[in-house]
Amino acid sequence: MSSSVVTEQVSLAVSTVVFALRPHPRTGETTLWLPLVRRIREPYEGRWALPGGPLKAHQDLAASARETLADTTGLEPAHLEQLYSFGAVDRSPADRVVSIVYWALVRPDEDARTTETPNVEWFVADEVPQLAFDHNEIVRHALDRLRAKITYSPIALAFVPDEFTLAELRGVHEAVLGRCLDPANFRRQVLAGGTVEPTGTHLTGTSHRPPALYRAAPREQEKSR
């Protein structure tokens, strides 16, 4: 309509990179997956893109991320965090869109309840197709951040049920990082970090020695001194 206006409007969107752990279709190893949404409008009609939408005036940024997440996948994230804001002038043809991008982790039990719809599909995170806009770059950023942060922060707990064994937690780290970790050293690091505490119970029914169960330790942000 008014394409001759000098100062065109900048529109603001919130998108989210959602990670979940599922077995790889070929190898069977648990790996990172993420949901993508098929675009039903130009530009990039038919291409896969990150779930997201325009920011509503009454909504906080994180709330917007949660909402599109619920709308597209029906999931509630166990962890949600702002990643970066992308605003290159030419990242969307014709119009100008600035995207504030969040990244999220969902628990496996939550993951199982995901809604199946034809326009939403899950992909192995390292094997996403060519996406709309600059979304491939965004996924790469999110993967880098996740892999960096899991080494110095207890976010892996967001990938694990309320009670878990250290082997499970190690499996999460191994799946995210894509390499094996020494069980003995992993145990010591985690326990020294104080982010988990034993429940006192053990997991039975395993084929061998019953492992101890742990839960997330209550956040103690007291400064000793």
Q: Does 192 sit near its own copies (CB under 8 A)?
A: no
Q: Which amino acid is at 197?
A: E
The one among 59, 136, 165, 195 contacting DNA by CB under 7 A: 165
If the CB atoms of residues 119 and 189 are measured against DNA, the closer one turns out to be: 189
Site stretch for DNA (CB under 7 A), options 89-97, 113-121, 132-140, 163-171: 163-171
CB 168 within 8 Å of CB 21: no
Site membership for its own copies, residue 58 (CB under 8 A): yes
Residue with tokens 């145990």: 187
> For residue 113, how many other CB atoms are within 10 A of its CB?
11
Instruction: Give whichever of 86 and 164 is closer to DNA, judged by the CB atom.
Output: 164
Segment interacting with its own copies (CB under 8 A) among 23-31, 79-87, 200-208, 209-217: 79-87
The DSSP 8-state label assigned to residue 154 in this structure reads G
Q: Does 179 bind DNA (CB under 7 A)?
A: no
Distance of CA 175 to the CA centre of its chain: 13
For position 81 contacting its own copies by CB under 8 A, the verdict is: no
| Residue 98 binds its own copies (CB under 8 A) | yes
Find the binder of its own copies among 30, 82, 165, 195 (CB under 8 A): 82
Beta strands in 24-134 (DSSP E): 30-38, 48-49, 52-54, 79-86, 97-105, 120-124
Assigned token pair, 127:
């094997």
As given in the structure block, the two tokens for residue 97 are 């869109």
2-10, 33-41, 84-92, 161-169 -> range binding DNA (CB under 7 A): 161-169
Q: Is residue 221 involved in binding DNA (CB under 7 A)?
A: no
Phi, psi of 184 (to 5 degrees): -65, -50
Alpha-carbon torsion 30, 31, 32, 38, what sign? negative
| Closest to its own copies by CB, 58 or 209 | 58
Q: How far is the CB of 93 from DNA (least distance, A)?
A: 45
What are the beta bridge partners of residue 22?
A: 31
Residues 180-209 that bind DNA (CB under 7 A): 182-185, 187-189, 192, 202, 204, 206-209
Nearest Cα residue to 157 out of 195, 119, 102 = 195
Q: What DSSP state is assigned to residue 114?
A: P
Residues that bind its own copies (CB under 8 A): 7-10, 12, 55-61, 82, 84-85, 87-89, 96, 98, 100
Residues that bind DNA (CB under 7 A): 165-167, 182-185, 187-189, 192, 202, 204, 206-212
